[in-house]
Structure 1
Amino acid sequence: MRVTQNMLTNNMLRNLSSSYNSLGKYMDQLSTGKKINRPSDDPVVAMKGMDYRTQVNQLEQFERNIGEVHNWMDNTDSALDKTQKALERLRELAVQGANGTYEEGQRGNIASEVDQLKEHLLEIANTKVNNKYIFSGTQTTGDGGNKPFTINDNFSPGDDEFFNFAGNNNEVLIEVSSGSKIKVNTSSNEIFTEKLFEDLTNFAKELREGDDDEAIGNYISLIDDHIDNNVNARADLGARQNRIDLIENRVEEQTVAAKDMMSKNEDADMEKVIMNLTSQEAVHRAALSAGARIIQPTLLDFLR
């Protein structure tokens, strides 16, 4: 086969184009830090990368969910702590009120403080975090914008219109790991019950109108029951907080492992890329030099 000048020129141009492609590939790897920049570069790496990226995104979403769980539980614990202090103060007032040395006017002052503490507990029951009521179950927006817990003092305890709860006692569940959901709320029927507010209303009424030390003293045990309910709710909340801490540590470890696998699959070995780029540049310069020698002779050069 006769090798012509045109064949040499075309081969040289084709080889130079291939060399430019290699240079471009290594330059892309160097600038992006990735082994591939399009699926066609390596379909296997691309498919694995999609799987790893999906896993990382899922774990990062779980981390955000866990942050929401912490926010919900921390605010609940703070509210229950304030509830505990209010109930302990009410017990002190019950002990004071049962003291026979108090006169009617002095017990009226105690009753006024009981009323204020009742309102304080009502405000705690209507605690709102991130525009959500945390003690109203899944009815986190209340009743048409109204607070979930309301008391109508125009009615007596025991009447249907005295106490109104517009929420529910359903569990608020948040997924914190694959297939694992945790309850983040504390149900209102554990603490902020109708009986709590009825007992406090009757207690204040007894202080104002009654002088029976024994009848007033009976409220000590009633308040103790509410204190026990609050303590039990906090214990249950604490157990769930401990569990979410363990889950958070596991998710964080899984996230680190997934990102490491994704990095090993996608990230380029920069030292290797630089060496390949340097080597390809040398090959490219050599190809250009050889091409210049092939193209240089012309018909005029032979006629001289």
Structure 2
Amino acid sequence: MSLVINNNLMAMNAARNLSDAYGNLSTSTRRLSSGLRVGTAADDAAGLAIRELMRSEINSINQGVRNANDAISMIQTADGALQVIDEKLIRMKELAMQASTGTYNSDQRLIIDSEYQAMSSEITRIANATDFNGIYLLNGNLSGLESQHDGSGLSATGPLKVHFGTSNDSAEDYYYIKINGASASALGLGHSAADKTTNPNAGKTVSTQELAQQAMDAINDAIISKDKIRAGLGSLQNRLENTITNLQIQAENLQAAESRISDVDVANEMTQFVRNQILTQSAVAMLAQANSLPQMAMQLIGG
């Protein structure tokens, strides 16, 4: 190589190596300080795309877990109200049993019936007042077929749709919670009860001995109807709890996969950092030496 003044090729080579080593050192510093192997698209374009998709899945699944937990809280609210209704039905059967015996006169049965009707009104009040986050649970709004669900408006109608999956597949991502009405009229009790085919007055009142005896059968039917609602809610709660367990496992596995793509291997990156640090220091020293080499030409000129 000729000794020249205008173009210091050794300095240019040392400067290029310094730039490369310093850039690699900067990348290692960024990765170690952030903990991410893939911090920008330039690090791993395909890995970045896969990571972002996984992150969206993980966040959606975690929200699905929260949705399912909210649904469990709602079911527990409805079940708690039905438990109180159960107590009222038991008291109503006790009153019907009391009024059905012949040792009471008409005035006393009317007094018994006044409490019977008060229990009926309280059941209706509980059914109409029980809500979760503004959604009324026992007034019959959530009854009906799954096909009757309509979520196109600001307020959905029909059975309540619990969405916990990351897509919109009915077999995998959501199902419906159907709760029949539990008011006194829906259960066939009290003055507001609908007429029955076989005995239109059964369950409406205990003001006479005959009606009190008929009310006992109507109350039994009401208790069975209420228990069917509670059994359905219990099975839904168990299903939601199993769903939550499955979603948590799924999110955990996706998080592990995302970590393998995105997170930096600290031990390996620290090795690269030390290597790049040494190369940077060496390049700086060699650039300083290369910049001084053209001065040797002065010795020839001076000689």
- TM-score of Structure 1 vs Structure 2, range by shorter chain: 0.7 to 0.9
- Cα deviations across residues 43-67 of structure 1 (Å, max 9, x unaligned)? 1211221221222122122112212
The alignment covers a number of residue pairs equal to: 274
**CA offset at residue 81 of structure 1?**
1.3
Paired residue for 1:233? 229
Q: Is 2:174 aligned against 1:170?
A: no
**CA offset at residue 97 of structure 1?**
1.6
1:91·1:223 contact (CA, 8 Å) conserved in 2? Answer: yes
Using a 3 Å threshold, how does the CA distance of structure 1 residues 203 and 107 change in structure 2: closer, same or farther?
farther
Root mean square deviation, CA, Å: 3.0
User: Larger deviation: 194-203 or 14-23?
Assistant: 194-203
Paired residue for 1:270? 266
1:191·1:233 contact (CA, 8 Å) conserved in 2? Answer: no
Paired residue for 1:162? none
- Cα deviations across residues 10-67 of structure 1 (Å, max 9, x unaligned)? 2222221111211110111011111121112211211221221222122122112212
Equivalences for 1:1-304 in 2 at 5 Å? 2=2, 4=4, 6-126=8-128, 127-135=130-138, 136-137=140-141, 170-177=158-165, 178=167, 179=169, 180=172, 181-188=174-181, 193=186, 195-198=188-191, 206-207=205-206, 210=207, 212-297=208-293, 299=295, 302=299, 303=302
Unaligned runs of 5+ in 1: 140-166
Unaligned runs of 5+ in 2: 144-154, 195-200
Paired residue for 2:150? none
- The residue identity in structure 2 corresponding to 1:131 is G
1:115·1:200 contact (CA, 8 Å) conserved in 2? Answer: no
Using a 3 Å threshold, how does the CA distance of structure 1 residues 205 and 33 change in structure 2: closer, same or farther?
closer
- Aligned to 1:40, the other structure's residue is in SS state coil
Normalised to the residue count of structure 2, the TM-score between the two structures is: 0.80
Using a 3 Å threshold, how does the CA distance of structure 1 residues 168 and 254 change in structure 2: closer, same or farther?
closer
Using a 3 Å threshold, how does the CA distance of structure 1 residues 271 and 197 change in structure 2: closer, same or farther?
farther
User: Within 1, Cα distance between the matches of 2:29 and 2:209?
Assistant: 90
**CA offset at residue 205 of structure 1?**
7.9
1:118·1:197 contact (CA, 8 Å) conserved in 2? Answer: yes
- Cα deviations across residues 223-258 of structure 1 (Å, max 9, x unaligned)? 111001111111122222222222111111101111
User: Within 2, Cα distance between the matches of 1:222 and 1:138?
Assistant: 24
- Cα deviations across residues 133-168 of structure 1 (Å, max 9, x unaligned)? 1234359xxxxxxxxxxxxxxxxxxxxxxxxxxx99
Normalised to the residue count of structure 1, the TM-score between the two structures is: 0.79
- Aligned to 2:91, the other structure's residue is in SS state helix
User: Within 2, Cα distance between the matches of 1:172 and 1:203?
Assistant: 32
2:32·2:266 contact (CA, 8 Å) conserved in 1? Answer: yes
User: Within 2, Cα distance between the matches of 1:283 and 1:11?
Assistant: 14
**CA offset at residue 183 of structure 1?**
2.0
User: Larger deviation: 25-34 or 54-63?
Assistant: 54-63
User: Within 1, Cα distance between the matches of 2:122 and 2:222?
Assistant: 15
Kindly, what percent of the aligned residue pairs are identical? 23
Using a 3 Å threshold, how does the CA distance of structure 1 residues 168 and 24 change in structure 2: closer, same or farther?
closer
**CA offset at residue 2 of structure 1?**
4.2
Paired residue for 2:198? none
- The residue identity in structure 1 corresponding to 2:278 is A
Using a 3 Å threshold, how does the CA distance of structure 1 residues 59 and 192 change in structure 2: closer, same or farther?
farther
- Cα deviations across residues 92-113 of structure 1 (Å, max 9, x unaligned)? 1111122322344443432332
Paired residue for 2:149? none
User: Within 1, Cα distance between the matches of 2:224 and 2:20?
Assistant: 80
User: Within 2, Cα distance between the matches of 1:168 and 1:216?
Assistant: 41
User: Within 2, Cα distance between the matches of 1:53 and 1:86?
Assistant: 50
User: Larger deviation: 214-223 or 167-176?
Assistant: 167-176
1:137·1:169 contact (CA, 8 Å) conserved in 2? Answer: yes
